[in-house]
Amino acid sequence: MVQHLEHFSSPSAPLEAVLSAFPGGVPETGALPLAPIVTSRQWFGNGAVLRAVREIMASTSEAVSIAQVHALAQEELGKAVSVETVRSCLARNAWGPAARLMRVGVGWYRLAGATGG
């Protein structure tokens, strides 16, 4: 029992370093400003992102990067869009016998049948 009391009354050097960072004591909870808590997510209607991606790709015959499509999709929809959602839309439309898009390089797509660079 005496060993346990000694342990708590003489903190280790690393703990002393942490405690010395707060000479006035550890701040109480809520003393620091916190980022606002997002309580709900905004969801797009069925296929809204997919339609936006298809419209963007149909507007050019050039190869377009995922980053470019992502930025244009956000602009068109007027809200933040997950880059993973855009990446998924591009990948799903560049596969199979009825593929609308063609992957021309890592992260680059163009409309299937288009001959642009």
Instruction: Note the pLDDT tens digit of each residue in 44-103.
Output: 777 899 999 999 999 988 899 999 999 999 999 988 888 999 999 999 988 888 888 999
Could you tell me the two tokens for 57? 């790709």
How many CB atoms neighbour CB 69 within 10 A? Answer: 23
Report the run of H or E that residue 50 belongs to, with start and end: helix 48-58
More confident residue, 104 or 2: 104
More confident residue, 112 or 114: 112
Q: What is the rounded average pLDDT of the residues 14-23?
A: 76
pTM: 0.60
Could you tell me the two tokens for 99? 């593929």
How many CB atoms neighbour CB 66 within 10 A? Answer: 18
Question: Mind listing the domains of the chain with CATH numbers?
Answer: 48-111 (1.10.10)
